[in-house]
Amino acid sequence: MAERRFRVIVCRGPECGDKRDSRSIHAAFVAQIDARGVGHRCELDWQSCFGRCSQGPNVLVRELPAAVQAPRRFALADLPPSRGGGPRLATALYNRLDPVKVVEVVASHVVQGTVVGRFIERPDALVKPPGEPDV
Ligand code: FES
């Protein structure tokens, strides 16, 4: 069975990047991905904005479909997941991340494929934290 692969996309938009220092989040992912030795199966990238600015810094961790490899013998298990079927890919948009939370996201989501649900907010739960200005 192929190793699970992930793509981590850190928002660098005006709210996440300029006001909430998503650069430190990106740096924490670089360090954790390196420390856990998963760089060969985890891509790290930037995004300009996810449209969830008031809940930032936001980071999308997306599991990538397994690459189709040339099987020695054809088997249904070798087929990539079809639309509406196949294994569910572990994908989540994390909100209000900080470098401490990044440690757990990498350990759980990237290493084990388990989403960290408590770092995810509902899109309609746009309640600003105390002291935060309106976006
Ligand atoms: S600036 Fe990050 S979601 Fe908009």
What's the CATH code, domain 5-67+86-119?
3.40.30.10
Q: What is the dihedral of CA 64, 69, 74, 77, to 10 degrees?
A: -20
* pTM of the predicted model as reported, rounded to 2 decimal places: 0.80
Q: How far is the CA of 25 from the centre of ligand 1 (A)?
A: 13
Confidence band, pLDDT 50/70/90 cuts, at residue 81: low
- Choose which residue among 50, 55, 96, 126 to substitute to test ligand 1 binding: the one with the highest number of ligand atoms within 8 A of its C-beta: 50
Residue 17, SS3 per DSSP: helix
- For the chain, how many residues are written? 135
* Residues in a beta bridge with 91: 62
Contact 6, 40 (CB under 8 A): no
Q: What is the pLDDT of residues 18-57, one digit of tens each?
A: 999 999 999 999 999 999 999 999 999 999 999 999 999 9
Joined tokens for residue 113: 């494929």
Write down the pLDDT at residue 111: 97
Contact 12, 29 (CB under 8 A): no
* Residues in a beta bridge with 44: 8
Confidence band, pLDDT 50/70/90 cuts, at residue 131: low
Joined tokens for residue 130: 């105390």
CB of 47 within 6 A of ligand 1: the answer is no
Q: What is the DSSP string of 90-117?
A: -EEEE-S--HHHHHHHIIIIIHH----G
CB of 14 within 6 A of ligand 1: the answer is yes
Residue 5 pLDDT exceeds 80: yes
Residue 98 pLDDT exceeds 70: yes
* Residues in a beta bridge with 5: 64
* Spans of all domains in the chain: 5-67+86-119
